[in-house]
Each structure stands twice: as structure tokens, then as C-alpha cells.
């Protein structure tokens, strides 16, 4: 279930589903990497829901042990035909693996584009808030899905426009975006997600043919390393180099 806290502030976005975040005045570091995990919870993920949940918990646990864990903030968003914020942006050290018990509840259809749009817009919005308050900031967005979009208002073009705006505004030092296709065992779906990666302008596409405990544990490690690398890139003027899955 979603995690609520009186310490969080609500922020509006253009798509009528906003986000929450810790107030800037409550932050202790001078620079942050905003990390966002966007997870598909449509009905088709039912057969590997526990492994997706374990993947997220593994990533959070590993990030807590990362060298720059005090400079990480995390938000988790899930989606089917609707968007559901599990929790807003908060310091990584305030995120415990057990907080994600029950976070993956499959049902409904797939609003992949809307969830991606909300996720990217949230890091741009909160990132600007941080930069305007004299924090250095970069971001990484990881979108995990097993299917094609069938419920969104937005399209890939609007996602690309958001990323282009991020580069123009220069509020964030850099942003890395990773699309992960899980249980992609059909050629049409592989082609669809690769096209979405290119059309939307994702930095990287990672594909997992069969979703099981082993492959999704590997994904958890990949996510944590990607987040850690982007955090270490803060201050260099550019993004981290994509790592191999």
C-alpha cells in the first residue's frame, strides 16, 4: 500500500496526477541524485509479482550501502491503467526494504506512456526546486514494464518533448533514463519496446526474456549500480556511462 507521511509536500503536475516530496528545508546534504523507479503492476505481471517486489527491495538495500547513499533521494511509482505513488521523493536512508512489502499488486491494463511522463516530469519539477534552492542535482529514471501501452493519454512524443525540455532548461546537471522490458518473449513486444525507447529518447533499453527469481535479482543489482553510478557522476557536468546488464 502507499506510504504516507506528514513530512511530505504535494506538488501538482500537468497530467492531473502529481507527486510528493520531502520539503527542501528538511534536507541535510548540499547535492542530490533523484532516483525514480516506475513499475508496471498491470494484471500480466501477476505470475512474477513477488520477484518484481524482491527486485525493488534488493535495489533499495544495495543503494543504502552505496558510497553516496546520503546524497540519494528515491521515489517509487507503480502503474496499471492508473498511476499509484508508493512514496514520494525522500532520502534513500529513510527507505527500508520492508517498506516495499505489498507494493506490487497486479490488476488492470497498462498506461506505460502516462506513467513514464509523470515520472520524468516529477524529477524535472523537483529537481528545479532543488536547484533554485542552491542544491546541485541530477536524476535517473528506471521504468520496468512487461507490455505495450493500452491506456495512456500521452504518447512517446510527449515523453521526448519533456526530455528535450530538461536539456534546454539545464535545471538538472544530467538525467539518465532506462527502460526495462521484463518477460519479453515475443518479437513484436521486443520491437515495440525498442521503438518506444528510441521514440521517447531513453538513454538505455534492457531486455529480460524470462522473468524469474534469478533474472529479476540480477535486475535489482543492475538498478542499484546504475543509480550509484549516476550519483557519482554528479559534479562532472555529464551523465554516467550506461553499464551492461
Residues of the chain with pLDDT under 70: 1-6
Q: Give me the pLDDT at residue 11, please.
A: 94
* Backbone dihedral angles phi then psi of residue 86, each to the nearest 5 degrees: -70, -45
Q: Give me the pLDDT at residue 5, please.
A: 56
Residues with Cβ < 8 Å from 100, sequence gap 6 or more?
53, 56, 57, 60, 76, 86
Q: Give me the pLDDT at residue 171, please.
A: 86
Residue whose C-alpha is closest to residue 34's, from 106, 97, 88, 81: 88
Q: Secondary structure of the chain in the HEC alphabet?
A: CCCCCCCCEEECCCCCCCEEECCHHHCCCCEEEEEEEEEECCHHHHHHHHHHHHHHHHHHHHHHCCCCHHHEEEEEEEECCCEEEEEEEEEHHHCCHHHHCCCCCCCCCCCHHHHHHHHHHHHHHHHHHHHHCCCEEEEEEEEEECCCCCCCCCCHHHHHHHHHHHHHHCCCCCEEEEEEEECCCCHHHHHHHHHHHHHHCCCEEEEECCCCHHHHHHHHHHHHHHHHHHHHHCCCCCCCCCCCC
Q: Give me the pLDDT at residue 3, please.
A: 55
Whole-model pTM: value is: 0.96
Domain boundaries, the chain: 30-233
Q: Which CATH class is domain 30-233?
A: alpha beta
Q: Give me the pLDDT at residue 137, please.
A: 98
Q: Is the C-alpha dihedral spanning 165, 168, 172, 177 positive or negative?
A: positive
Q: Give me the pLDDT at residue 2, please.
A: 55
Residues with Cβ < 8 Å from 185, sequence gap 6 or more?
209, 210
Amino acid at each position: 500500500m502507499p506510504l504516507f507521511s506528514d513530512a511530505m509536500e504535494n506538488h501538482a503536475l500537468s497530467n492531473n496526477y502529481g507527486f510528493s516530496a520531502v520539503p527542501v528545508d528538511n534536507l541535510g546534504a548540499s547535492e542530490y541524485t533523484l532516483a525514480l523507479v516506475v513499475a508496471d503492476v498491470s494484471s500480466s505481471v501477476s505470475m512474477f509479482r513477488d520477484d518484481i517486489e524482491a527486485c525493488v527491495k534488493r535495489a533499495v538495500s544495495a543503494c543504502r550501502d552505496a558510497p553516496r547513499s546520503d546524497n540519494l533521494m528515491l521515489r517509487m511509482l507503480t502503474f496499471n491503467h492508473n498511476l499509484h505513488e508508493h512514496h514520494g521523493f525522500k532520502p534513500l536512508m529513510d527507505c527500508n526494504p520492508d517498506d516495499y512489502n505489498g507494493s506490487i499488486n497486479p490488476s488492470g491494463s497498462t498506461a506505460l506512456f502516462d506513467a513514464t511522463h509523470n515520472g520524468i516530469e516529477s524529477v524535472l519539477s523537483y529537481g528545479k526546486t532543488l536547484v533554485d534552492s542552491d542544491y546541485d542535482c541530477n536524476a535517473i529514471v528506471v521504468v520496468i514494464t512487461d507490455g505495450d501501452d493500452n491506456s495512456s493519454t500521452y504518447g512517446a512524443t510527449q515523453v521526448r518533448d519533456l526530455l528535450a525540455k530538461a536539456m534546454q532548461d539545464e535545471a538538472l546537471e544530467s538525467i539518465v533514463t532506462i527502460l526495462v522490458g521484463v518477460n519479453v518473449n515475443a518479437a513484436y513486444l521486443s520491437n515495440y519496446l525498442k521503438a518506444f525507447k528510441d521514440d521517447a529518447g531513453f538513454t538505455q533499453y534492457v531486455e529480460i526474456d524470462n522473468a524469474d527469481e534469478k533474472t529479476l535479482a540480477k535486475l535489482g543489482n543492475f538498478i542499484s549500480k546504475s543509480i550509484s553510478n549516476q550519483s557519482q557522476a554528479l559534479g562532472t557536468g555529464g551523465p554516467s556511462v550506461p553499464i551492461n546488464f
